[in-house]
Protein backbone atom coordinates (compact mmCIF):
# COMPACT_ATOMS: atom_id res chain seq x y z
CA UNK A 1 0.00 0.00 0.00
CA UNK A 2 1.35 3.37 -1.05
CA UNK A 3 0.87 6.46 1.12
CA UNK A 4 1.84 8.53 -1.92
CA UNK A 5 -1.14 7.20 -3.89
CA UNK A 6 -4.31 9.15 -3.09
CA UNK A 7 -7.92 8.20 -3.78
CA UNK A 8 -10.24 11.23 -3.79
CA UNK A 9 -13.96 10.87 -2.99
CA UNK A 10 -15.22 12.88 -5.92
CA UNK A 11 -18.63 14.32 -6.81
CA UNK A 12 -17.65 16.92 -9.40
CA UNK A 13 -18.65 19.76 -7.08
CA UNK A 14 -16.53 22.66 -5.85
CA UNK A 15 -15.30 20.97 -2.69
CA UNK A 16 -14.23 17.61 -4.05
CA UNK A 17 -12.70 19.19 -7.16
CA UNK A 18 -10.61 21.42 -4.89
CA UNK A 19 -9.58 18.24 -3.07
CA UNK A 20 -8.64 16.70 -6.43
CA UNK A 21 -6.26 19.59 -7.19
CA UNK A 22 -4.91 19.40 -3.64
CA UNK A 23 -4.18 15.72 -4.27
CA UNK A 24 -2.57 16.38 -7.66
CA UNK A 25 -0.28 18.96 -6.04
CA UNK A 26 0.72 16.75 -3.13
CA UNK A 27 0.67 13.09 -4.19
CA UNK A 28 2.56 11.07 -6.75
CA UNK A 29 -0.51 9.23 -8.01
CA UNK A 30 -4.16 10.28 -7.86
CA UNK A 31 -7.36 8.37 -8.58
CA UNK A 32 -10.98 9.42 -8.14
CA UNK A 33 -14.02 7.52 -6.88
CA UNK A 34 -17.60 8.68 -7.49
CA UNK A 35 -20.65 7.06 -5.92
CA UNK A 36 -23.66 6.82 -8.19
CA UNK A 37 -26.69 6.66 -5.89
CA UNK A 38 -29.40 8.38 -7.89
CA UNK A 39 -28.22 11.93 -7.22
CA UNK A 40 -30.65 14.79 -7.62
CA UNK A 41 -29.04 15.32 -11.01
CA UNK A 42 -27.59 12.51 -13.06
CA UNK A 43 -25.67 15.43 -14.53
CA UNK A 44 -23.48 15.23 -11.41
CA UNK A 45 -21.98 11.93 -12.61
CA UNK A 46 -21.48 13.31 -16.11
CA UNK A 47 -19.69 16.41 -14.75
CA UNK A 48 -17.48 14.21 -12.57
CA UNK A 49 -16.58 12.01 -15.54
CA UNK A 50 -15.73 15.02 -17.70
CA UNK A 51 -13.43 16.53 -15.08
CA UNK A 52 -11.69 13.20 -14.50
CA UNK A 53 -11.11 12.84 -18.22
CA UNK A 54 -9.88 16.41 -18.65
CA UNK A 55 -7.41 15.88 -15.83
CA UNK A 56 -6.35 12.48 -17.14
CA UNK A 57 -7.16 10.70 -13.88
CA UNK A 58 -8.34 7.14 -13.37
CA UNK A 59 -11.96 7.34 -12.29
CA UNK A 60 -13.89 4.64 -10.44
CA UNK A 61 -17.67 5.02 -10.55
CA UNK A 62 -19.31 2.71 -8.02
CA UNK A 63 -23.01 1.93 -8.25
CA UNK A 64 -24.47 2.74 -4.83
CA UNK A 65 -28.12 2.60 -5.85
CA UNK A 66 -28.64 0.36 -2.85
CA UNK A 67 -28.55 3.53 -0.75
CA UNK A 68 -32.12 3.98 -1.94
CA UNK A 69 -33.05 0.84 0.02
CA UNK A 70 -32.34 2.75 3.22
CA UNK A 71 -34.58 5.71 2.48
CA UNK A 72 -37.81 5.95 4.48
CA UNK A 73 -39.80 5.77 1.24
CA UNK A 74 -38.23 2.49 0.22
CA UNK A 75 -38.71 1.07 3.70
CA UNK A 76 -42.33 2.24 3.72
CA UNK A 77 -42.92 0.54 0.38
CA UNK A 78 -41.89 -2.70 2.01
CA UNK A 79 -44.56 -2.18 4.64
CA UNK A 80 -42.35 -1.06 7.47
CA UNK A 81 -43.07 1.34 10.27
CA UNK A 82 -40.63 4.20 10.12
CA UNK A 83 -39.54 5.84 13.31
CA UNK A 84 -39.42 9.51 12.49
CA UNK A 85 -36.05 11.10 13.21
CA UNK A 86 -36.26 12.91 16.51
CA UNK A 87 -34.35 15.83 15.13
CA UNK A 88 -36.79 17.74 12.94
CA UNK A 89 -33.97 19.55 11.15
CA UNK A 90 -33.06 16.36 9.31
CA UNK A 91 -35.37 15.81 6.34
CA UNK A 92 -37.49 12.67 6.01
CA UNK A 93 -35.69 11.40 2.91
CA UNK A 94 -32.45 11.48 4.87
CA UNK A 95 -30.27 8.41 4.34
CA UNK A 96 -28.25 8.24 7.53
CA UNK A 97 -24.49 7.98 7.68
CA UNK A 98 -23.89 8.54 3.99
CA UNK A 99 -20.27 9.50 4.59
CA UNK A 100 -19.74 6.39 6.70
CA UNK A 101 -21.06 4.25 3.85
CA UNK A 102 -18.99 6.14 1.26
CA UNK A 103 -15.78 6.01 3.30
CA UNK A 104 -16.26 2.32 4.04
CA UNK A 105 -16.35 1.65 0.31
CA UNK A 106 -13.59 4.14 -0.50
CA UNK A 107 -11.18 2.57 1.99
CA UNK A 108 -12.06 -0.93 0.77
CA UNK A 109 -11.37 0.26 -2.79
CA UNK A 110 -8.13 1.82 -1.57
CA UNK A 111 -7.14 -1.56 -0.15
CA UNK A 112 -7.70 -3.21 -3.53
CA UNK A 113 -5.94 -0.52 -5.58
CA UNK A 114 -3.10 0.14 -3.13
CA UNK A 115 -4.07 3.73 -2.27
CA UNK A 116 -2.87 4.50 1.24
CA UNK A 117 -4.37 7.99 1.39
CA UNK A 118 -8.11 8.66 1.09
CA UNK A 119 -9.14 12.29 0.60
CA UNK A 120 -12.63 13.64 1.24
CA UNK A 121 -13.98 17.20 1.13
CA UNK A 122 -16.17 16.99 4.23
CA UNK A 123 -16.21 20.11 6.28
CA UNK A 124 -17.23 20.78 9.84
CA UNK A 125 -17.51 24.54 9.25
CA UNK A 126 -20.51 24.14 6.96
CA UNK A 127 -21.84 21.33 9.19
CA UNK A 128 -25.58 21.33 8.55
CA UNK A 129 -26.94 18.74 10.91
CA UNK A 130 -25.01 15.80 9.45
CA UNK A 131 -22.93 14.31 12.26
CA UNK A 132 -20.78 12.31 9.81
CA UNK A 133 -19.23 15.54 8.50
CA UNK A 134 -17.55 16.16 11.84
CA UNK A 135 -13.83 15.79 12.40
CA UNK A 136 -14.40 13.43 15.34
CA UNK A 137 -16.36 11.09 13.08
CA UNK A 138 -13.63 11.10 10.42
CA UNK A 139 -10.95 10.26 12.98
CA UNK A 140 -13.02 7.38 14.34
CA UNK A 141 -13.80 6.16 10.82
CA UNK A 142 -10.08 6.20 10.05
CA UNK A 143 -9.30 3.97 13.04
CA UNK A 144 -12.20 1.64 12.21
CA UNK A 145 -11.12 1.21 8.59
CA UNK A 146 -7.53 0.56 9.66
CA UNK A 147 -8.65 -2.09 12.15
CA UNK A 148 -11.04 -3.63 9.62
CA UNK A 149 -8.26 -4.21 7.08
CA UNK A 150 -5.15 -4.20 9.22
CA UNK A 151 -3.72 -1.34 7.17
CA UNK A 152 -2.58 2.20 7.92
CA UNK A 153 -4.82 4.35 5.76
CA UNK A 154 -4.72 8.10 6.29
CA UNK A 155 -8.05 9.82 5.67
CA UNK A 156 -7.20 13.40 4.79
CA UNK A 157 -9.76 16.24 4.93
CA UNK A 158 -8.18 19.39 3.46
CA UNK A 159 -11.39 21.43 3.84
CA UNK A 160 -12.38 20.40 7.37
CA UNK A 161 -11.89 23.81 8.97
CA UNK A 162 -12.33 26.07 5.95
CA UNK A 163 -15.36 28.20 5.11
CA UNK A 164 -16.41 28.66 1.47
CA UNK A 165 -14.28 31.78 1.09
CA UNK A 166 -11.21 29.90 2.25
CA UNK A 167 -12.00 26.99 -0.05
CA UNK A 168 -11.96 29.42 -3.00
CA UNK A 169 -8.65 30.77 -1.71
CA UNK A 170 -7.27 27.23 -1.72
CA UNK A 171 -8.47 26.71 -5.30
CA UNK A 172 -6.65 29.93 -6.24
CA UNK A 173 -3.50 28.74 -4.49
CA UNK A 174 -3.47 25.75 -6.82
CA UNK A 175 -4.08 28.11 -9.79
CA UNK A 176 -7.48 26.51 -10.41
CA UNK A 177 -10.02 29.09 -9.32
CA UNK A 178 -11.37 29.68 -12.83
CA UNK A 179 -11.44 25.99 -13.70
CA UNK A 180 -13.35 25.13 -10.55
CA UNK A 181 -15.65 28.11 -10.97
CA UNK A 182 -16.56 27.14 -14.53
CA UNK A 183 -16.43 23.33 -14.64
CA UNK A 184 -17.93 22.12 -11.36
CA UNK A 185 -21.57 21.55 -10.42
CA UNK A 186 -22.96 22.65 -7.06
CA UNK A 187 -26.37 24.02 -8.05
CA UNK A 188 -29.54 22.15 -6.99
CA UNK A 189 -31.01 23.06 -10.39
CA UNK A 190 -28.17 21.31 -12.22
CA UNK A 191 -26.65 24.47 -13.71
CA UNK A 192 -22.86 24.12 -14.06
CA UNK A 193 -20.53 26.94 -12.99
CA UNK A 194 -22.06 29.91 -11.19
CA UNK A 195 -25.35 28.02 -11.27
CA UNK A 196 -28.91 29.30 -10.95
CA UNK A 197 -27.75 31.73 -8.28
CA UNK A 198 -30.92 31.25 -6.26
CA UNK A 199 -30.79 27.83 -4.60
CA UNK A 200 -29.15 27.48 -1.15
CA UNK A 201 -26.09 25.73 -2.65
CA UNK A 202 -25.55 28.54 -5.17
CA UNK A 203 -26.02 31.23 -2.53
CA UNK A 204 -23.42 29.67 -0.24
CA UNK A 205 -20.94 29.04 -3.04
CA UNK A 206 -21.34 32.45 -4.68
CA UNK A 207 -21.22 34.40 -1.42
CA UNK A 208 -17.92 32.69 -0.63
CA UNK A 209 -16.59 33.48 -4.08
CA UNK A 210 -17.60 37.17 -3.87
CA UNK A 211 -16.05 37.46 -0.42
CA UNK A 212 -12.80 35.96 -1.68
CA UNK A 213 -12.64 38.09 -4.84
CA UNK A 214 -13.45 41.27 -2.87
CA UNK A 215 -10.70 40.50 -0.36
CA UNK A 216 -8.25 39.79 -3.16
CA UNK A 217 -8.80 43.11 -4.94
CA UNK B 1 -34.54 4.61 19.15
CA UNK B 2 -35.30 1.50 21.18
CA UNK B 3 -32.52 -0.44 22.90
CA UNK B 4 -35.03 -3.28 23.34
CA UNK B 5 -35.44 -3.63 19.59
CA UNK B 6 -32.69 -5.78 18.08
CA UNK B 7 -31.63 -6.10 14.45
CA UNK B 8 -29.74 -9.33 13.76
CA UNK B 9 -27.26 -9.57 10.86
CA UNK B 10 -28.55 -12.85 9.49
CA UNK B 11 -27.19 -15.30 6.91
CA UNK B 12 -29.22 -18.40 7.77
CA UNK B 13 -26.11 -20.20 9.01
CA UNK B 14 -25.47 -21.74 12.41
CA UNK B 15 -23.90 -18.67 13.99
CA UNK B 16 -26.38 -16.01 12.97
CA UNK B 17 -29.34 -18.31 13.65
CA UNK B 18 -28.00 -18.85 17.16
CA UNK B 19 -27.79 -15.05 17.44
CA UNK B 20 -31.40 -14.82 16.29
CA UNK B 21 -32.56 -17.11 19.12
CA UNK B 22 -30.37 -15.18 21.54
CA UNK B 23 -32.14 -12.01 20.41
CA UNK B 24 -35.61 -13.58 20.67
CA UNK B 25 -34.83 -14.65 24.25
CA UNK B 26 -33.47 -11.28 25.31
CA UNK B 27 -35.18 -8.50 23.35
CA UNK B 28 -38.77 -7.29 23.07
CA UNK B 29 -38.67 -6.93 19.31
CA UNK B 30 -36.41 -8.67 16.79
CA UNK B 31 -35.85 -8.06 13.09
CA UNK B 32 -33.37 -9.68 10.68
CA UNK B 33 -31.24 -8.23 7.90
CA UNK B 34 -29.64 -10.37 5.20
CA UNK B 35 -27.18 -9.03 2.63
CA UNK B 36 -27.59 -10.47 -0.84
CA UNK B 37 -24.19 -10.12 -2.53
CA UNK B 38 -24.07 -13.13 -4.82
CA UNK B 39 -23.28 -15.69 -2.14
CA UNK B 40 -21.68 -18.95 -3.11
CA UNK B 41 -25.16 -20.43 -2.93
CA UNK B 42 -28.27 -18.42 -3.69
CA UNK B 43 -29.74 -21.12 -1.46
CA UNK B 44 -28.31 -19.15 1.47
CA UNK B 45 -30.86 -16.36 0.90
CA UNK B 46 -33.67 -18.89 0.53
CA UNK B 47 -32.71 -20.63 3.78
CA UNK B 48 -32.56 -17.28 5.57
CA UNK B 49 -36.01 -16.33 4.25
CA UNK B 50 -37.50 -19.64 5.33
CA UNK B 51 -36.14 -19.36 8.86
CA UNK B 52 -37.37 -15.75 9.18
CA UNK B 53 -40.82 -16.81 8.04
CA UNK B 54 -40.94 -19.84 10.35
CA UNK B 55 -40.00 -17.63 13.28
CA UNK B 56 -42.45 -14.90 12.26
CA UNK B 57 -39.76 -12.21 12.13
CA UNK B 58 -39.61 -9.15 9.91
CA UNK B 59 -36.81 -9.76 7.42
CA UNK B 60 -34.95 -7.09 5.45
CA UNK B 61 -33.03 -8.40 2.45
CA UNK B 62 -30.66 -5.72 1.14
CA UNK B 63 -29.13 -6.02 -2.31
CA UNK B 64 -25.37 -5.70 -1.85
CA UNK B 65 -24.38 -6.86 -5.31
CA UNK B 66 -22.17 -3.77 -5.47
CA UNK B 67 -19.71 -5.72 -3.28
CA UNK B 68 -18.78 -7.45 -6.52
CA UNK B 69 -17.45 -4.10 -7.78
CA UNK B 70 -14.70 -4.32 -5.18
CA UNK B 71 -13.46 -7.77 -6.11
CA UNK B 72 -10.12 -7.95 -7.89
CA UNK B 73 -11.81 -9.59 -10.88
CA UNK B 74 -14.23 -6.71 -11.33
CA UNK B 75 -11.44 -4.17 -10.90
CA UNK B 76 -9.29 -6.06 -13.38
CA UNK B 77 -12.13 -6.02 -15.90
CA UNK B 78 -12.05 -2.26 -15.69
CA UNK B 79 -8.38 -2.35 -16.61
CA UNK B 80 -6.91 -1.68 -13.20
CA UNK B 81 -3.67 -2.85 -11.71
CA UNK B 82 -4.36 -4.85 -8.62
CA UNK B 83 -1.90 -4.77 -5.78
CA UNK B 84 -1.74 -8.30 -4.51
CA UNK B 85 -2.52 -8.61 -0.81
CA UNK B 86 0.77 -8.94 1.05
CA UNK B 87 -0.68 -11.63 3.26
CA UNK B 88 -0.82 -14.78 1.16
CA UNK B 89 -3.35 -16.39 3.50
CA UNK B 90 -6.06 -14.05 2.22
CA UNK B 91 -7.49 -15.33 -1.06
CA UNK B 92 -7.40 -13.23 -4.24
CA UNK B 93 -11.17 -12.92 -4.51
CA UNK B 94 -11.19 -11.39 -1.04
CA UNK B 95 -13.46 -8.35 -0.73
CA UNK B 96 -11.90 -6.42 2.11
CA UNK B 97 -13.75 -5.23 5.18
CA UNK B 98 -16.97 -7.07 4.45
CA UNK B 99 -18.09 -6.80 8.07
CA UNK B 100 -17.38 -3.07 8.06
CA UNK B 101 -19.57 -2.67 4.98
CA UNK B 102 -22.31 -4.88 6.44
CA UNK B 103 -22.30 -3.16 9.84
CA UNK B 104 -22.34 0.29 8.23
CA UNK B 105 -25.53 -0.68 6.43
CA UNK B 106 -27.00 -2.54 9.40
CA UNK B 107 -26.57 0.44 11.73
CA UNK B 108 -27.97 2.83 9.10
CA UNK B 109 -30.97 0.49 8.75
CA UNK B 110 -31.25 0.39 12.55
CA UNK B 111 -31.40 4.18 12.55
CA UNK B 112 -34.28 4.14 10.09
CA UNK B 113 -36.23 1.36 11.83
CA UNK B 114 -35.51 2.44 15.39
CA UNK B 115 -33.46 -0.62 16.40
CA UNK B 116 -30.97 0.43 19.08
CA UNK B 117 -29.24 -2.95 19.30
CA UNK B 118 -27.42 -4.55 16.37
CA UNK B 119 -26.42 -8.21 16.81
CA UNK B 120 -23.79 -9.98 14.75
CA UNK B 121 -22.33 -13.48 15.02
CA UNK B 122 -18.71 -12.57 14.35
CA UNK B 123 -16.23 -14.49 16.39
CA UNK B 124 -12.61 -13.88 17.23
CA UNK B 125 -12.07 -17.50 18.28
CA UNK B 126 -12.53 -18.78 14.74
CA UNK B 127 -10.65 -15.75 13.38
CA UNK B 128 -9.29 -16.89 10.04
CA UNK B 129 -7.29 -13.97 8.79
CA UNK B 130 -10.18 -11.50 8.61
CA UNK B 131 -9.28 -8.56 10.84
CA UNK B 132 -12.87 -7.26 10.85
CA UNK B 133 -13.97 -10.27 12.91
CA UNK B 134 -11.92 -9.05 15.86
CA UNK B 135 -13.45 -7.62 18.99
CA UNK B 136 -11.31 -4.48 18.74
CA UNK B 137 -12.73 -3.79 15.27
CA UNK B 138 -16.33 -4.24 16.47
CA UNK B 139 -15.78 -1.80 19.35
CA UNK B 140 -14.29 0.78 17.02
CA UNK B 141 -17.09 0.24 14.48
CA UNK B 142 -19.61 0.79 17.27
CA UNK B 143 -18.08 4.15 18.19
CA UNK B 144 -17.84 5.18 14.52
CA UNK B 145 -21.50 4.34 13.82
CA UNK B 146 -22.60 6.21 16.93
CA UNK B 147 -20.61 9.29 15.91
CA UNK B 148 -21.85 9.05 12.31
CA UNK B 149 -25.49 9.19 13.37
CA UNK B 150 -25.31 10.81 16.78
CA UNK B 151 -27.04 7.80 18.32
CA UNK B 152 -26.18 5.25 21.00
CA UNK B 153 -26.28 1.94 19.18
CA UNK B 154 -25.00 -1.12 20.98
CA UNK B 155 -23.40 -3.71 18.71
CA UNK B 156 -23.70 -7.03 20.51
CA UNK B 157 -21.58 -10.08 19.61
CA UNK B 158 -22.85 -13.06 21.62
CA UNK B 159 -20.40 -15.48 19.96
CA UNK B 160 -17.24 -13.37 20.09
CA UNK B 161 -15.35 -15.61 22.51
CA UNK B 162 -17.06 -18.95 21.88
CA UNK B 163 -15.70 -21.88 19.93
CA UNK B 164 -18.04 -24.02 17.81
CA UNK B 165 -18.71 -26.42 20.70
CA UNK B 166 -19.76 -23.56 22.92
CA UNK B 167 -21.96 -22.11 20.16
CA UNK B 168 -23.81 -25.44 20.04
CA UNK B 169 -24.13 -25.31 23.83
CA UNK B 170 -25.69 -21.84 23.54
CA UNK B 171 -28.16 -23.15 20.94
CA UNK B 172 -29.08 -25.93 23.36
CA UNK B 173 -29.54 -23.41 26.16
CA UNK B 174 -32.22 -21.74 24.07
CA UNK B 175 -33.78 -25.16 23.37
CA UNK B 176 -32.95 -24.81 19.68
CA UNK B 177 -30.11 -27.26 19.05
CA UNK B 178 -32.18 -29.54 16.81
CA UNK B 179 -33.75 -26.65 14.91
CA UNK B 180 -30.37 -25.06 14.20
CA UNK B 181 -28.83 -28.42 13.35
CA UNK B 182 -31.54 -29.25 10.81
CA UNK B 183 -32.61 -25.90 9.32
CA UNK B 184 -29.43 -23.87 8.87
CA UNK B 185 -26.93 -23.86 6.01
CA UNK B 186 -23.17 -23.78 6.63
CA UNK B 187 -21.93 -26.22 3.98
CA UNK B 188 -19.91 -24.93 1.03
CA UNK B 189 -21.74 -27.47 -1.14
CA UNK B 190 -25.11 -25.98 -0.23
CA UNK B 191 -26.36 -29.00 1.73
CA UNK B 192 -28.66 -27.92 4.57
CA UNK B 193 -28.28 -29.38 8.07
CA UNK B 194 -25.30 -31.66 8.73
CA UNK B 195 -24.14 -30.81 5.19
CA UNK B 196 -21.74 -32.68 2.92
CA UNK B 197 -19.56 -33.43 5.91
CA UNK B 198 -16.39 -32.96 3.87
CA UNK B 199 -15.88 -29.23 3.25
CA UNK B 200 -13.98 -27.12 5.80
CA UNK B 201 -17.18 -25.45 7.04
CA UNK B 202 -18.88 -28.82 7.65
CA UNK B 203 -15.81 -30.23 9.37
CA UNK B 204 -15.63 -27.30 11.78
CA UNK B 205 -19.35 -27.30 12.47
CA UNK B 206 -19.69 -31.07 12.89
CA UNK B 207 -16.59 -31.42 15.05
CA UNK B 208 -18.04 -28.80 17.40
CA UNK B 209 -21.38 -30.59 17.47
CA UNK B 210 -19.79 -33.97 18.21
CA UNK B 211 -17.66 -32.47 20.96
CA UNK B 212 -20.71 -30.86 22.53
CA UNK B 213 -22.89 -33.99 22.30
CA UNK B 214 -20.10 -36.19 23.69
CA UNK B 215 -19.63 -33.86 26.62
CA UNK B 216 -23.37 -33.74 27.25
CA UNK B 217 -23.79 -37.51 27.41
Q: Which pLDDT tens digit goes with each residue over B59-69?
A: 999 988 888 78
Given a cut of 80, whether residue B39 has pLDDT beyond it is no
Least CA distance to A70: which residue of chain B? B109
Lowest mean pLDDT among B30-39, B89-98, B141-150: B89-98
pLDDT (mean) for A77-105 = 64
* Cβ pair B145:A100 closer than 8 A: yes
Closest among B170, B188, B171, B167 to B180, alpha carbons compared: B171
- Residue A68: which pLDDT band, with cuts at 50, 70 and 90? confident
Chain B residues whose CB is inside 8 A of the A71 CB are: 112
Shortest distance, CA B59 to any CA of chain A (angstroms): 10
Residue A65: count other Cβ atoms within 10 Å of its Cβ: 13
pLDDT (mean) for B10-30 = 97
Q: What is the pLDDT of residues A134-174, one digit of tens each?
A: 999 999 999 999 999 999 999 999 999 999 999 999 999 99
Q: Above 0.85 for ipTM, yes or no?
A: yes
Shortest distance, CA A2 to any CA of chain B (angstroms): 10
Q: Which residues contact B158 (CB under 8 A, 6 or more apart)?
A: B18, B19, B22, B119, B121, B170
- Residue B78: which pLDDT band, with cuts at 50, 70 and 90? very low
Give the pLDDT score at A129: 74
Burial class (CB in 10 A: 0-12, 13-18, 19+), A131: buried
E strands along chain A, which residues? Answer: 2-9, 29-36, 58-63, 115-119, 154-156
Q: What is the DSSP letter of A153?
A: -
Given a cut of 80, whether residue A73 has pLDDT beyond it is no
Give the pLDDT score at B80: 41
Select from B148, B149, B150 the residue whose CB has the most chain A CBs within 10 Å, as the one to mutate to test that interface: B148
Residue B154's alpha-carbon distances to B119, B120, B151, in angstroms, are: 8, 11, 10
Q: What is the C-alpha separation between B4 and B91, in angstroms, rounded?
A: 39
Shortest distance, CA A134 to any CA of chain B (angstroms): 8
Give the pLDDT score at B84: 42
Q: What is the pLDDT of residues A130-142, one digit of tens each?
A: 899 999 999 999 9
pLDDT (mean) for B89-108 = 81
- List B residues 81-110 in contact with A (Cβ-Cβ < 8 A): 81-83, 95-97, 99-101, 104-105, 107-109
pLDDT (mean) for A181-201 = 93
Q: What is the C-alpha separation between B101 and B106, in angstroms, rounded?
A: 9
- List A residues 106-165 in contact with B (Cβ-Cβ < 8 A): 107-109, 111-114, 131-132, 134, 136-137, 140-141, 143-145, 147-150
Given a cut of 60, whether residue B94 has pLDDT beyond it is yes
As beta bridge partners, residue B119 has B8, B156
Give the pLDDT score at B125: 80
Give the pLDDT score at B83: 41
8 Å CB contact between A187 and A196: yes
* Cβ pair A113:B83 closer than 8 A: yes
Give the pLDDT score at B64: 85
- Cα A19 to the chain's mean position, in Å? 9
- The segment with the largest mean pLDDT, out of A57-61, A86-90, B70-74, is A57-61
Chain A residues whose CB is inside 8 A of the B75 CB are: 112-113
**For chain A, what percent of residues have pLDDT higher than 70?**
87
Given a cut of 70, whether residue B129 has pLDDT beyond it is yes
* Cβ pair A132:B143 closer than 8 A: no
- Residue A80: which pLDDT band, with cuts at 50, 70 and 90? very low
pTM listed for this prediction? 0.90
Question: Mean pLDDT, chain B, as a whole number?
Answer: 88
**For chain B, what percent of residues have pLDDT higher than 70?**
87
Given a cut of 80, whether residue A71 has pLDDT beyond it is no
Q: What share of chain B is helix, strand, coil (3-state, %, to 5)?
A: 50, 15, 40
8 Å CB contact between A2 and A30: no
Question: Mean pLDDT, chain A, as a whole number?
Answer: 88
Given a cut of 80, whether residue A31 has pLDDT beyond it is yes
Give the pLDDT score at B75: 58
Amino acid sequence: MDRNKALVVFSGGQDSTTCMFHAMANYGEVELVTFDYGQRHSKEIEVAKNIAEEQGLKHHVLDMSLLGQLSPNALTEHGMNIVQAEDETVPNTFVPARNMLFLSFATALGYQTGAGTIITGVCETDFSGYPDCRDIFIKSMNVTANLAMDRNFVIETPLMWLDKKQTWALADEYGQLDYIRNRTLTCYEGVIGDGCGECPACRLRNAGLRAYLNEKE
